[in-house]
């Protein structure tokens, strides 16, 4: 059975070679590759390499190399069919039903590919003939030297109505084949087909394997109806499945020294991609349309964070926004995008021609993370001068985060975006670059009031005395540290509101009512700062408990309470500690519930596993004090 190339590419796209091969060969990460001992020869020093970006393995001891299919054939002596079936099952790709017509379709596609290759060679030859003089002048004006024409396959389609058709028909092509390949246009009235590309600079478009599947043409006539013209969808060319310049980008990435991670840039046009390649920057361009999800997956197989570089005009911004919206649902840990804007409203081709390769590389290296670009987009949609508009921004940020499918990343984005939101409206309570301490240093008592002032402790109320009596044995240090930080920075609870309800006071029952009151107030308030929260809690009778929290937190050694830690790092450390104590609380409940039901050996083993995990988490928490 002969398989469609797209079917095989889909299998390989879903599997990482290092994962599959790593089950039989012990691999370790080395730069951008994985290395291990050869499965084909006996050796002491590893010479077997696996490259996930290229989807290949390389064994220098035996000289063997190939893809996952080849690896299974070589190591397990499987036939090609058996290897494909094994990998398809693992990738979750259904095997195609036997189709007696598929062989004929493959034969037709192969014939079209041959005519596309011949057309490319003819376009390149025409560029160097007298008819291509205007095209040569144009390329010279764009700063593309003749030495690079062959590297990028640049050619010229002369203005004659049937020049390419006459050439290929003389070579044995039939007009209907050239129409199917996208090289000719068949009039609707049934007239004779004619050349699609006329008087245009020609750029060959290749698939991931380097095979020409279509062309893009740039008009030389300034009055032409379409400045850029791409070939139509055909049996060998699908615009959403191909990126211009992918082959050259792979070469540049593959030539990078081990351990380096050079950028992969997505630009808007053919000349921009060529400019980047000439400057030593790996770049690709979509086919005049918004990036598709399939193209994004293709990019991620080459680079974890490709850079999207669009023009600074309105059309460029709209293209960037469309890319954001398409990317959000499929973002995942370790797979995202960055954004870059070339200065002065120029494009990469302009920068290379006017300022040189070094300037282009420097500008492309100045990137904005996805989360920041997303926040700025939503913030700039409308003025934020009324409560309704500020609430609208907050709602849009929540909605954007909610569109991310990965639950962990969705939570991280929600927290990041809302912290950026709070940062706009938060009063400048602390000197620039600092964050207010969570409690006074030295012998002073009380709580931080903002603007360098301290609020003295209030006399204990009746409720406070009762709370103090219940806390005769003192609070647990770790839950108190979590509560202290949440009191100083209420926004940290934003991403954890649902989970916080179930923690029974961060694992400390004495804090349960306090935590619930903080969460209730956070849900009701559009913006909640530390001062107003503290005043509210004191008015509710939690005064004594707040003092006990300060006292216990001071003994915790929690890293997120230290003043030399940035707010961003402290928020991250708090979230990790919160997750740890939440897990501790659930483990304690599970162990208590299972104590009376240990009848089978398997029950005892499960109990011991849970107990071991709980004890390990407790030790990790106690290490704060070390």
Question: Does pLDDT of 225 surpass 80?
Answer: yes
> Which of 278, 279, 374, 270 shows the shortest CA–CA distance to 324?
374
Q: How many CA atoms lie within 13 A of 230 on its CB side?
A: 20
Judged against a pLDDT cut of 60, whether residue 452 lies above it is answered with: no
Check whether 226 has a pLDDT greater than 50.
Answer: yes
pLDDT for the residue 205 = 96
In this predicted structure, which of 8-12, 102-106, 113-117 has the lowest mean pLDDT? Answer: 102-106
Q: Which tokens sit at 474?
A: 């003192």
Among 92-106, 107-121, 364-378, which is the least confidently predicted range?
Answer: 92-106
* Six token digits for residue 613: 């995990």
How many alpha carbons lie under 13 Å from residue 199 in its C-beta half-sphere? 13
Query: pLDDT tens across 178-206, in order?
Result: 999 999 999 988 889 999 999 999 999 99
Pairing of strands 307-309, 338-340: parallel
For the ranges 34-48, 121-135, 356-370, the maximum mean pLDDT occurs at: 121-135
Task: For residues 397-419, give the mean pLDDT.
Answer: 94
- Residue 172 Cα distances to 113, 115, 212, angstroms: 14, 10, 19
Most confident of 348-362, 493-507, 535-549, 603-617: 348-362
Q: Quote the mean pLDDT of the chain.
A: 82
Q: Tell me the longest C-alpha to C-alpha distance in the chain.
A: 103
What residue spans define the domains of the chain? Answer: 5-91, 102-237, 246-366, 377-425, 447-625
CATH topology for 102-237 is: DNA primase DNAg catalytic core, N-terminal domain (3.90.980)
What is the share, in percent, of the chain residues with pLDDT greater than 70? 80
Alpha carbon distance 273, 250 (integer Å): 13
Radius of gyration over every alpha carbon of the chain, rounded to an integer in angstroms: 32
Q: Give 595's pLDDT tier (boundaries 50, 70, 90).
A: low
454-463 mean pLDDT: 39
Q: Is the pLDDT of residue 454 over 60?
A: no
CA 227, 228, 231, 233 torsion-angle sign? negative
The verdict on pTM exceeding 0.85 is no
Strand order in the sheet with 33-36: 28-30, 33-36, 48-51, 56-59, 65-66
Q: Residue 475 pLDDT more than 70? A: yes
What pLDDT is recorded for position 370?
96
Q: When comparing pLDDT for 276 and 603, which is higher?
A: 276
Q: For residues 259-281, give the mean pLDDT.
A: 90
Q: What is the pLDDT of residue 583?
A: 73
Binned at pLDDT 50, 70 and 90, residue 87 comes out as: very high
User: For the ranges 353-367, 466-480, 568-582, which has the lowest average pLDDT?
Assistant: 466-480
Coil, helix or strand at residue 156: strand
Give ∠ CA 409-410-414 in degrees, rounded to 5.
115
Of 71-85, 222-236, 345-359, 472-486, which gets the smallest average pLDDT? 472-486
Structure confidence at residue 552 (pLDDT): 85
Please, which pLDDT band fits residue 598 given cuts at 50, 70 and 90? low
Residue 232: pLDDT above 90?
yes
| Distance (Å, whole) CA 296 – CA 303 | 10
Between the CA of residue 360 and those of 152, 280, 305, 363, 625, what are the distances in Å?
A: 19, 10, 19, 5, 50
Cα gap 15→11, rounded to integer Å = 7
Task: Find the angle CA(260)-CA(265)-CA(268) to the nearest 5 degrees.
Answer: 170
Question: Where is 407: in which H helix or E strand?
Answer: helix 407-425
Tell me what pLDDT residue 447 has.
34
pLDDT at 484 over 70: yes
Task: Round to whole Å and give the CA distance between 164 and 195.
Answer: 6
Query: E-assigned strands of 87-166?
Result: 155-157
**Both structure tokens of 25:** 């060969």
The pLDDT tens digits of the residues spanning 520-566 come to 776 656 566 788 788 888 888 888 888 888 888 888 888 888 877 88
Interval 100-112 mean pLDDT = 73
* CA atoms of 270 and 229, how far apart (whole Å): 11
The pairing of beta strand 184-185 with beta strand 155-157: unpaired
Is residue 376 very low, low, confident or very high in pLDDT (cuts 50, 70, 90)? very high
Least confident of 182-191, 434-443, 557-566, 591-600: 434-443
CA–CA separation, 302 vs 52, rounded Å?
8
Average pLDDT over residues 165-175: 95
Region at 416 (left for phi over 0; alpha for psi -120 to 50; beta for the rest):
alpha
Residue 15 or 513, more confident? 15
Average pLDDT over residues 353-369: 90
pLDDT the model gives residue 434 = 47
**pLDDT of the residue at 525:** 62
What average pLDDT does this structure show over 149-165?
A: 95
Residue 30 pLDDT greater than 80, yes or no: yes
State whether residue 527 is helix, strand or coil. Answer: coil
Q: According to the model, what pLDDT value does residue 99 have?
A: 64
Is pLDDT of 304 > 60? yes
pLDDT for the residue 606: 63
Q: How far is CA 95 from CA 2, 87, 278, 337, in A?
A: 12, 10, 42, 33
Please name the residue ranges forming H helices in 129-229: 133-141, 149-152, 163-170, 175-180
488-492-498-502 Cα dihedral, nearest 10 degrees: -50
Mark residue 264 as left, alpha or beta (left: phi above 0; alpha: psi -120 to 50; beta: remaining). Answer: beta
**DSSP alpha helices (H): ranges in 471-566?**
477-488, 497-500, 512-524, 530-539, 543-554
The CATH architecture of the domain made up of 5-91 is Alpha-Beta Complex (3.90)
Residue 499: pLDDT band (50, 70, 90) is low
* Helix-helix angle 370-379:387-402, to 10 degrees: 150
Cα separation, 496 vs 501, whole angstroms: 9
pLDDT of residue 611: 75
With a cut of 50, say whether residue 442 has pLDDT above it. Answer: no
pLDDT the model gives residue 432: 44
Q: Does domain 246-366 have CATH number 3.40.1360.10?
A: yes
Mean pLDDT across 589-609: 60
* Whether pLDDT at 114 is above 80: yes
pLDDT for position 243: 94
């Amino acid at each position: 059975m002969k398989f469609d190339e797209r079917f095989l590419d889909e299998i390989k796209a879903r599997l990482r070679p290092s994962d599959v091969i790593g089950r039989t060969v012990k691999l370790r990460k080395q730069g951008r590759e994985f290395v291990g001992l050869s499965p084909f020869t006996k050796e002491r020093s590893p010479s077997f390499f696996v490259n996930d970006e290229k989807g290949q393995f390389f064994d220098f001891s035996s000289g063997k190399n190939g893809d996952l299919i080849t690896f299974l054939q070589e190591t397990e002596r499987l036939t090609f069919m058996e290897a494909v079936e094994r990998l398809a099952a693992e990738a979750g790709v259904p095997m195609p039903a036997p189709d007696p017509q598929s062989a004929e379709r493959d034969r037709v596609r192969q014939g079209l590919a041959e005519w596309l290759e011949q057309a490319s060679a003819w376009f390149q030859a025409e560029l160097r003939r007298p008819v291509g003089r205007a095209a040569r002048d144009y390329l010279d004006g764009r700063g593309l030297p003749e030495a690079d024409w062959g590297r990028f396959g640049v050619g010229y389609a002369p203005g004659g109505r049937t020049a390419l058709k006459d050439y290929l028909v003389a070579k044995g092509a039939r007009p209907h084949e050239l129409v199917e390949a996208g090289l000719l246009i068949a009039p609707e009235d049934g007239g004779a087909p004619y050349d699609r590309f006329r008087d245009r600079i020609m750029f060959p478009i290749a698939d991931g394997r380097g095979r020409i599947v279509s062309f893009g043409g740039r008009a030389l006539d300034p009055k032409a109806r379409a400045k850029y013209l791409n070939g139509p969808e055909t049996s060998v060319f699908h615009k959403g499945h191909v990126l211009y310049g992918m082959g050259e980008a792979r070469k540049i990435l593959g030539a990078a020294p081990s351990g380096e991670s050079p950028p992969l840039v997505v630009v808007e046009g053919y000349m921009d991609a060529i400019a980047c390649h000439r400057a030593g920057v790996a770049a690709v361009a979509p086919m005049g349309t918004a990036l598709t999800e399939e193209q994004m997956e293709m990019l991620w197989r080459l680079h974890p964070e490709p850079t999207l570089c669009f023009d600074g005009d309105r059309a460029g911004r709209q293209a960037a926004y469309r890319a954001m919206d398409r990317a959000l649902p499929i973002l995942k840990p370790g797979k995202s995008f960055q954004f870059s804007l070339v200065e002065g409203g120029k494009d990469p081709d302009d920068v290379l021609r006017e300022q040189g390769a070094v300037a282009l590389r420097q500008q492309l290296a100045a990137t904005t993370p996805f989360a920041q670009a997303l926040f700025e987009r939503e913030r700039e949609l409308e003025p934020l001068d009324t409560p309704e508009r500020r609430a609208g921004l907050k709602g849009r940020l929540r909605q954007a985060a909610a569109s991310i499918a990965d639950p962990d990343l969705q939570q991280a984005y929600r927290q990041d975006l809302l912290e950026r939101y709070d940062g706009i409206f938060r009063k400048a309570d602390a000197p620039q670059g600092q964050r207010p301490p969570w409690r006074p240093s030295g012998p002073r008592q009380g709580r931080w009031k903002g603007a360098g002032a301290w609020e003295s402790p209030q006399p204990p109320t009746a409720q406070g005395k009762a709370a103090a009596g219940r806390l005769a044995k003192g609070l647990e240090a770790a839950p108190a540290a979590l509560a202290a930080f949440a009191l100083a920075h209420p926004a940290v609870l934003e991403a954890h509101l649902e989970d916080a309800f179930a923690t029974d006071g961060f694992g400390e029952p004495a804090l349960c009512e306090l935590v619930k009151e903080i969460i209730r107030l956070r849900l009701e308030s559009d913006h909640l700062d530390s001062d107003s929260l503290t005043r509210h809690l004191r008015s509710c009778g939690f005064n004594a408990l707040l003092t006990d929290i300060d006292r216990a937190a001071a003994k915790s050694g929690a890293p997120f309470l230290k003043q030399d830690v940035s707010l961003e790092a402290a928020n991250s450390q708090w979230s990790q500690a919160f997750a740890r104590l939440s897990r501790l609380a659930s483990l304690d409940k599970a162990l208590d519930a299972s104590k009376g039901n240990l009848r089978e050996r398997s029950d005892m083993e499960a109990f011991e596993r849970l107990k071991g995990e709980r004890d390990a988490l407790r030790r990790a928490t106690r290490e704060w004090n070390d």
